[in-house]
């Protein structure tokens, strides 16, 4: 991965990692990723208040991980499939670099015993 590409993705990647670093927020994301839900539905599954769930959803939304659609009086939150793309690209590139370095090492030093 080139430095220019890495720098371009770093802001989005950092936002995603920061959003998911909080265990409660990660649980909110996993809950929404399993099926679309309202704030009330999410709060019923977790030991946090509805206002706290709303705050977590705001952070997840700002990071591009969830979107909301109005259904009557409620907002129904959905995981955005494209939200994890910058992180996925970074991990794929990093994994490719690691495998390439290992292949170079094996070619010059031989396979580990």
Residues 84-94 have a mean pLDDT of 83
pLDDT tens per residue, range 31-68: 999 999 999 999 999 999 999 999 999 999 999 999 99
What's the confidence (pLDDT) of residue 3?
46
pLDDT tens per residue, range 24-40: 999 999 999 999 999 99
- 8 Å CB contact between 19 and 63: yes
1: confidence class by pLDDT, cuts 50, 70, 90: very low
Our CA dihedral for 31, 24, 67, 71, rounded to 10 degrees, sits at 60
104: confidence class by pLDDT, cuts 50, 70, 90: low
What's the confidence (pLDDT) of residue 61?
96
- What's the CATH number where 95 sits? 1.10.10.10
7: confidence class by pLDDT, cuts 50, 70, 90: low
Q: Which domain holds residue 84?
A: 3-109
- 8 Å CB contact between 65 and 79: yes
Residue 63 tokens read as 């990071």
What's the confidence (pLDDT) of residue 51?
96
Q: Count of domains in the chain?
A: 1
């Amino acid at each position: 991965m080139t430095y220019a590409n890495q720098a371009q993705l770093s802001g989005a990647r950092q936002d995603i990692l920061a959003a998911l670093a909080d265990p409660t927020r990660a649980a909110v994301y996993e809950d929404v990723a399993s099926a679309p839900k309202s704030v009330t539905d999410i709060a019923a599954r977790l030991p946090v208040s509805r206002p706290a769930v709303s705050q977590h959803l705001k952070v997840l939304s700002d990071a591009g991980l969830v979107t909301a659609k109005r259904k009557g009086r409620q907002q129904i939150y959905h995981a955005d499939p494209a939200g994890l793309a910058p992180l996925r690209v970074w991990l794929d590139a990093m994994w490719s670099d690691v495998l390439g370095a290992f292949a170079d090492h094996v070619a010059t030093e031989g396979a580990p015993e």
